[in-house]
Structure 1
Amino acid sequence: MKVLSIDTSNYVLGIGLLDGQTVLGEYISNIKKNHSVRVMPAIQTLMEECNIKPADLSKIVVAEGPGSYTGVRIGVTIAKTMAWTLQIPLSGVSSLEVAAASAGRYFDGYVSPFFDARRGQIYTGLYKFENQIMKAVKADQLVMSADWVKTLNEMHSRILFTSNDLNLHEEVIKEGLGDKAVFAAITEQNPRPAELALLGREKEAVDLHTFVPNYIRLAEAEANWLKAQETKQ
């Protein structure tokens, strides 16, 4: 089974190709550039380098969010379009689950990936590998980082934190958890598209007509619009 994975849910752009038990190739960049003009060239370049034609693909896997509202939408739209055009199945995987797997596959404890959501908030969840299978211990959520640390302090285990936004919340985490907090190395902080492909390979395919990103919260513009409509009523 040849699987193409696409992750545009945050600044990191990740494209991966998995063939059975072999990672054929990965493209990863962590720069503040528009994903919309970079995704398709990245896919084309990687597939050409790996000598894979679109007709060779068996499945597409996409990071479904949470993360950047625009970024998540771009990846999901492209993945749905390709799956529909090629008539192959599509599966979605939590962007946080991908981050957790990329850093914590061999960590003996819990893994808390997170993305900064501004104003002291983070998108996060709690994961753990059991017999090489990723398990969600606490569901993905939007929460104040200080409140999340209080929740995790009740866990009787070390916790690995992984994020490209570690510097924004590291002090709060250290103060609340002390020695229980472990921080991923910088080489482990970019979600790997090969992990995304592996996680999504066996997941049930989604319905292309009803599949939507998991934003967790409304985009700020949409939330403001809804609030304005309520005021008018």
Structure 2
Amino acid sequence: MKILSIDTSNYVLGIGLLDGNQVMGEYISNLKKNHSVRVMPAIQTLMNECNVKPAELSKIVVAKGPGSYTGVRIGVTIAKTLAWTLNIPLTGVSSLEVLAASSGRHFNGFVSPLFDARRGQIYTGLYQFEEGRISSIMEDQLIMTTDWAPKLNELSQNILIAGNDLPLHQDILKEILGDKAVFAEITEHNPRPAELALLGRNKPDEDPHHFVPNYIRLAEAEAKWLESQSNQKNK
């Protein structure tokens, strides 16, 4: 079973190929560049390098958000198009779950992955590995860092915190959590596309036509548009 995984939900661009229990290849970059012009060449390059033809793929797995509104949309759109064109299953996985699995598979405690959401907010959740399987302890959410840290401080175990945006929030987390906070190494902040493929391998398939990303919140432009429509109706 050959699985192609796609993650464009943040600055990290990740493409992976998983064949059964073997990671055939991964492409990862962490650059502030346009995913829309880079993702298809990256997919093609990796598949050519691994000598895998599109017709050999058994499943597409995509990071479905949260994260960058544009980034999530790009990855999901490409994944849906490929799944529909090749007539193969599509599965979505939380972008935060992928990061948690990439950094905390062997951590004895809880894992709190995070992405910056501006204005002191973060996208985050709480995960834990038990017998090699990851489970969600607190659902993915949008929250102020100053509100999230006290919640974590109530836990009885240490918390591994990971994400490329960690430096933006590390001082607050350290101040509130103290030694309970364990900060991931810089090599553990990039979500691995092979982990994405592995997580999605046994998750339920979804209909490409009805599959939707999980933005958690509306893009600012969309929120303003909806607000303007509501105001017009109330006039």
Relative to the length of structure 2, the TM-score reads 0.98
- Amino acid paired to 1:58: S
Alignment-derived partner of residue 32 in structure 1: 32
* Secondary structure of 2:118 counterpart: coil
Structure 1 residue 230, shift from structure 2 partner:
1.9
Alignment-derived partner of residue 174 in structure 1: 174
Question: What percent of counterpart residues are identical?
Answer: 73
CA–CA separation in structure 2 for the residues paired with 1:208 and 1:87:
10
Alignment-derived partner of residue 6 in structure 1: 6
* Secondary structure of 2:169 counterpart: helix
Alignment-derived partner of residue 101 in structure 2: 101
CA–CA separation in structure 1 for the residues paired with 2:19 and 2:115:
29
Alignment-derived partner of residue 141 in structure 2: 141
- Amino acid paired to 1:205: D
Q: Deviations over 1:74-113 (max 9, x none)?
A: 0000000000010100000000000000000000000000
Alignment-derived partner of residue 82 in structure 1: 82
CA–CA separation in structure 1 for the residues paired with 2:120 and 2:228:
25
Query: Between Structure 1 and Structure 2, how many residues are aligned?
Result: 233
Q: Deviations over 1:55-86 (max 9, x none)?
A: 11000000000000000000000000000010
- Amino acid paired to 2:69: Y
Structure 1 residue 229, shift from structure 2 partner:
1.7
Structure 1 residue 227, shift from structure 2 partner:
1.3
The CA RMSD measured in Å over matched residues stands at: 0.5
Relative to the length of structure 1, the TM-score reads 0.99
Gaps of 5+ in 1: none
Give the 4+ runs in structure 1 shifted more than 2 A: none
Structure 1 residue 115, shift from structure 2 partner:
0.2
Structure 1 residue 208, shift from structure 2 partner:
1.2
**Residue pairs, 1:92-171, within 5 angstroms:** 92-171=92-171
Alignment-derived partner of residue 207 in structure 1: 207
CA–CA separation in structure 1 for the residues paired with 2:217 and 2:27:
29
Gaps of 5+ in 2: none
* Secondary structure of 1:58 counterpart: strand
Q: Deviations over 1:13-38 (max 9, x none)?
A: 00000001100000000000000000
- Amino acid paired to 1:15: I
Structure 1 residue 231, shift from structure 2 partner:
1.9
